[in-house]
Structure 1
Amino acid sequence: MRLSRRHPLILPVLLCALAVLAVRPTTAAGDADGVADAAGPESGASAEVVRLYEEASLATQRYEAGRRAAEVQRARAQRLERLLERERGDIAALHGELGRIARAQYRTGGGVPHAVRLLLADSPEELMRGQHAIWQADLAVDNTISKSRRAEARLAADEAKAASAWQALERRKGELAGIKRGVEQRLEEAQWTLQGQADASVAAGACRGAVRLDQPPTGYTQPWVAPVETYRLSAGFGSGGDRWASRHTGQDFAVDIGTPVRSAGEGRVVKVSCGGAFGIEVVVRHPGGYYTQYAHLAAVTVDQGDRVTAGQWIGQSGTTGNSTGPHLHFEVRLTPQLGSGVDPREWMAERGVTL
């Protein structure tokens, strides 16, 4: 009570301050580009896309390892098939040999001539020769039958191995395909969630603010890098098209939504904005007076005024603004503004980076 009597205006002042904070606009004060404070819950989509990209990469590695193992399994199964063909040929030859012996015995009356010769033998030597002939004939039949049975057993075992190998191959292929499909489906859902948030920011004309993602260790030794790690070049500098007023002012990189976008070199972020033809964009000023622009983003990971290094993540690709599909629009300019662009491929090539 003593505090209230000595400072009668403090309560109305506090109430006014709270009222001002309650109706404060989302655009940060003094930021002409309309960059809002970072929204914690919304930043989860960016982090989820990055996590799923890593999971997809691991799934792809497992898929490739499994594919190589499947190729080894396929080669093994094919070797077994060739072995089976040889074994079938051997069995056919053994069956032919048994048939030949059976026909020979049939023509000579089976074992009767040998027995007759033994009974009519005139000397012990002739008797021994007759016994040896009978023994050889029986041994030939027994050996041929034994070989045939062993070959048939081996054939049956190898056929089972071949069937098991092919079944394991098909199961492995199905498992890997299922893993890959599951990761890709979750990644696509997260990508379009992120894009939906980006579209809402562009429609409102106020960026959500920087999303602070865990940067991977880079260890770049070169001063300049490509703005995305893996890509396919699409529309190039100076190309014509219905989507541009005159000529294309940059180099497009066809990449999926949420792909990490890297600063091409060290510098300072001079612009982060949403809305307009470029959607969500970042502009970086580099030593020497050149600027690089990164447009049609789904999220940004830097704020205006931040210092960045070569290869540092500054955003995630998307399809905001005047865009017909997910890609990164990359420009090199003499000034921060549109209209002063130079060919990015030539400019980067002069700095040791081939796009």
Structure 2
Amino acid sequence: MRSYRRHRLLVLVLLCALAVLAAGPTAAHKEPGSGTGGDSGLSAEVARLYEEAAVATQQYEAGRREADEQRSRAQRAEELLDGQRRHIAALHEDLGRIARAQYRSSGGLPVAAQLLLADGPDDLMRGQHAFSQTNLAVNNAISKSRRAEARLAADEARAAAHWQALEKRNTQLAGLKTDIEQKLETARSRLQGQADAAVAAGACRGAVRLDQPETGFTSAWVAPVETYELSASYGSGGARWSSRHTGQDFAVPIGTPVRAVGAGRVVKVSCGGAFGIEIVLSHAGGYYTQYAHLASVAVDQGEHVEPGQWIGQSGTTGNSTGPHLHFEARVTPEMGSSVNPVSWLAARGVSL
């Protein structure tokens, strides 16, 4: 009887364990997009690759500038080498003249023959002195020629080695730059795909926190992106707008970090509609700034931001024909109250 109860208890324990194991993965599973893990990882990857691409580009450009400088130095060195070659040719001519003069003066005669041909001891001494001087001049000329040839060979070898090392490094930098840019392009495409899905669903994914760079800004106001090309300007006409363009467009690739132009508070984060994913900040003095067509946001509504803080990443959501940041300066949080953003920033010391 006791054995039967123990057996039944063991069966119950095993059934409970199986139930726990079966329920475990289901409880741990999360639907895609329900948390910030995957989204945060992709946005962070784009931001990281964006920074790495900028560094790689700087290194590559620095390498190309160094190559140009080395090319100029090589040209100057080649001119010096030509001078050395002419000098060596002149030495060879000197050697020939000395040899011919020595031959004509019988400098190569044996001492016994010179004794027989000499008119006296003084004549013999003069002949010996002339012979010694000629020999010394020949030896000096030969030494100079050899030293000059050795310097020429060393200079040529050094210039060639430096040039080869420089070209090898620049090839490696170009490959690294291309590799990072390809990875960045792939990550940008995925990020934009997530943004388009969020806009289509009308539900923002929430703030995706990015590692903020050390900016060290000394001014209270900055441009909304670091590097850019200005495209559609304030007040310009076009088929995409019902009347006039209400902001200034900054042509930048997808995933470019977007910065708060000044200290303020996030009063709006939304996605959907003509602006796609957008952020609106309020600033001192009753002004507001808008950042639209984003691919991701890095702040929540109600949050306070500092000048230059990354608040999101650029994209091409909403009514957009290509990757860019649409930036507005307003007197209210809503559309229809915009002022010229270029003049507005210029009045705050930011020249675009």
Specify the TM-score bucket, using the shorter chain as the normaliser: 0.7 to 0.9
Correspondent of 1:271 among 246, 252, 268: 268
Aligned letter for 1:201? A
Distance 1:224 1:121, change over 3 A: closer
Q: Does the CA contact (< 8 Å) of 1:114 and 1:130 recur in 2?
A: no
Distance 1:239 1:38, change over 3 A: farther
Distance 1:37 1:339, change over 3 A: farther
| Alignment correspondent of 1:324 | 321
- Residues of 2 paired with 1:144 and 1:310: CA distance? 73
| Alignment correspondent of 1:300 | 297
Cα deviation, 1:173-203, whole Å, max 9, x if unaligned, reads 2122122222222222212211111111122
Structure 2 matches for 1:1-355, cutoff 5 A? 39-67=36-64, 69-71=66-68, 73-105=70-102, 107=104, 111=108, 118-355=115-352
The CA RMSD over aligned residues, in Å, is 2.8
Distance 1:299 1:86, change over 3 A: same
Q: Does the CA contact (< 8 Å) of 1:38 and 1:209 recur in 2?
A: no
TM-score, normalised on structure 2?
Answer: 0.81
Instruction: Give the SS at the match of 2:327.
Output: strand
- Residues of 1 paired with 2:114 and 2:215: CA distance? 95
Q: Does the CA contact (< 8 Å) of 1:256 and 1:317 recur in 2?
A: yes
Overall identity of the aligned pairs, in %: 72
- Residues of 2 paired with 1:230 and 1:285: CA distance? 24
Instruction: Give the SS at the match of 2:279.
Output: strand
Aligned length: 322
Aligned letter for 2:148? A
**Structure 1 residue ranges without an equivalent (≥5):** 1-21, 27-35
Q: Does the CA contact (< 8 Å) of 2:224 and 2:258 recur in 1?
A: yes
- Residues of 2 paired with 1:117 and 1:223: CA distance? 98
- 1:225: how far off? 2.6
- 1:217: how far off? 4.0
| Alignment correspondent of 1:5 | none
Instruction: Give the SS at the match of 1:275.
Output: coil
- Residues of 2 paired with 1:306 and 1:278: CA distance? 21
- 1:350: how far off? 2.6
| Alignment correspondent of 2:3 | none
- Residues of 2 paired with 1:290 and 1:101: CA distance? 92
Distance 1:307 1:140, change over 3 A: closer
Q: Does the CA contact (< 8 Å) of 1:74 and 1:169 recur in 2?
A: no
Distance 1:117 1:195, change over 3 A: same
TM-score, normalised on structure 1?
Answer: 0.80
| Alignment correspondent of 2:4 | none
- Residues of 1 paired with 2:337 and 2:35: CA distance? 31
Q: Does the CA contact (< 8 Å) of 1:263 and 1:311 recur in 2?
A: yes
- 1:113: how far off? 11
Q: Does the CA contact (< 8 Å) of 2:107 and 2:131 recur in 1?
A: no
- Residues of 2 paired with 1:340 and 1:329: CA distance? 15
- 1:344: how far off? 0.9
Cα deviation, 1:143-191, whole Å, max 9, x if unaligned, reads 3233323332332232222221221221122122122222222222212
Q: Does the CA contact (< 8 Å) of 2:263 and 2:307 recur in 1?
A: yes
Q: Does the CA contact (< 8 Å) of 2:278 and 2:292 recur in 1?
A: yes
